[in-house]
Structure 1
């Protein structure tokens, strides 16, 4: 599954501060040895490239500049099918506690919709938020807070 590959890569290379200058062929070979399917590996790498491309895009900045702090995000039918009520509530919570801005929220929604999966739950959303915050410069404090939310939940301290 694509989400498993993304989590594996994030924990192995990004979160662990491992060498980030890994050759793509080398990376694909490692993922194949880890038991991931070649098609899923390809999709995950494209997903990561698209995440990196979001930093170069002004689209999310334009959305952020057009909406006020008190505006409410209206989700499309497709977005609501992927992001259930619990996930949408969590995104709203993250905005209210300043972990996500309007811009980073839109990036998260973009990357959630970029996943090719029928199964998506709150824990997956938390990982996507963490990946987006890690990849957008200037969000170090938000990343740290989100990391605490994610890992403290895994350890049973916080829900």
Structure 2
């Protein structure tokens, strides 16, 4: 576990989070993750702290008929549009309550080699099968 800082493109939103990138990250092909190009890693419980920019955040929640059924808040900077994280609540393991899905691409101080070394698990969210990759994940 390591503490990372992150920010949006314009710097209006800044956060820190406790993450274990070596334990893996996720890329999903559901319509929302695919269109936003979300590359997520989870900060559980109090492992996420918004440092600056609460007033710069806009919130999107999916329609009740869609995953994640309105119970996950997808935050993005209203100035530059970058989606740095989402916040949700799931009682099932490994979440066991509140969590933040942090966009790996918004972590500060990462170079190409560090990004390339992060393990990625691909999820077939399009078919509600988050434990298995889609047939061809190369586009993710």
TM-score, structure 2 length as denominator? 0.30
Of Structure 1 and Structure 2, which has the larger fraction of its residues in strand? 2
Larger radius of gyration: 1
TM-score, structure 1 length as denominator? 0.27
Q: Relative contact order (C-alpha < 8 Å, sep 6+): which is higher?
A: 2
